[in-house]
Amino acid sequence: MSTVRRYEGDRLRPQVGAGGVHWFAAEEVAAFAAELANEPRMQRRLRNAAGPGAMGATGPGAMGATGARGAARPAARSADEVAALVFERLEQRQTLAEIVIGVRIAPERVRELHVQWSQGLVAHYLRTARAVCGPLERDFVRVEAAELAARLAALPEGLTRISVGRVRGTFEAQNPEGEPQDFAFIAELGGFLVSGPCQLTEITRRFGAGDYRVTAYSLDPPTLRWEVLAKGVHVPK
């Protein structure tokens, strides 16, 4: 609440009710929160909070033993906790760089966990040899730029992560049975937060024109809203 009051009169303008109670509009606060979360300074704070030095009263995030100079050492995280943190960010379609910086682990470990996340519970046992892990081209919903714009405009109020990957085409690889399959070749570009409906220019001004995989992921509750392949996304005239 102190953070909200600090921006009162500058970025937030509440209504003063009976007894001097200040009422803030939920939509205004959510929009401002999304704006702050996208700032580089706040991104660094969020990454540090998710790293091994995050402080907590108890549990894996609590501070560990004190070193020789009196500086507290963070408690070691278990492999289970690291896997959960990486899986959560993979669900949000975060990039390799975002996960490495946010969770503070090596890229090789992220790639190992990505293989397990991609295979799920059943596919892992069906793979008799090392096979390509990634989305099949046929599994994506394909839309035109106009429909993508409509989906973005119809987002509900509340924080949503928009994740964007550039579609480079398809490539053919064999499944464990030796049958050829077409996989989508997607280069992850990153993402941003919105607090409700947004415009297509939120994508084009960051990444330019092109063919994209766009994912809308709700943060509260954590759930996938939709994911599409959009061809010919461009800056509207």
| Predicted confidence (pLDDT) per residue in 46-88, tens digit | 555 555 544 333 344 443 444 445 556 667 899 999 999 999 9
Predicted pLDDT at 188: 87
For residues 228 and 127, the model is more confident at 228
Q: Which residue is it, tokens 């090392």?
A: 130
Region 169-195 average pLDDT: 83
Give pLDDT tens digits for 19-29: 777 676 766 66
Neighbours of 228 (CB within 10 A): 18
pLDDT at residue 163 greater than cutoff 50: yes
pLDDT at 147: 96
Tell whether the model's pLDDT for residue 31 goes beyond 90: no
User: Please, are residues 213 and 186 in contact by the beta-carbon 8 Å criterion?
Assistant: yes
Kindly report the number of other CB atoms within 10 A of residue 89's CB atom.
20
pLDDT at 68: 46
The Cα 101–Cα 83 span in angstroms is 15
Report the alpha-carbon angle 60-62-67, nearest 5: 115
Q: Is the pLDDT of residue 161 over 90?
A: yes
Sign of CA dihedral 25, 28, 34, 40: negative
- Highest mean pLDDT pick, 116-125, 173-182, 193-202: 193-202
CA proximity to 123, closest of 131, 185, 184: 131
Residue 58 has a pLDDT of 39
Which uninterrupted H or E stretch holds 181?
A: strand 180-194
DSSP classification of residue 8: B
Per-residue confidence (pLDDT) for residue 200, from 0 to 100: 95
Distance of CA 197 to the CA centre of its chain: 17
Cα-based distances in Å from 135 to 127, 170, 226, 236: 15, 10, 15, 29
The domain locations on the chain are: 134-237
User: Is pLDDT at 208 greater than 50 in this prediction?
Assistant: yes
Q: Is the pLDDT of residue 37 over 90?
A: no
pLDDT tens digit string along 86-134?
Answer: 999 998 989 999 999 999 999 999 999 998 888 776 566 555 555 666 7
From CA 237, how far away is CA 230, in angstroms rounded?
18
Residue 125, pLDDT score: 57
Question: pTM of whole model > 0.85?
Answer: no
- Asked whether the predicted pLDDT for residue 235 surpasses 90, the reply is no
Mean pLDDT of the chain: 78
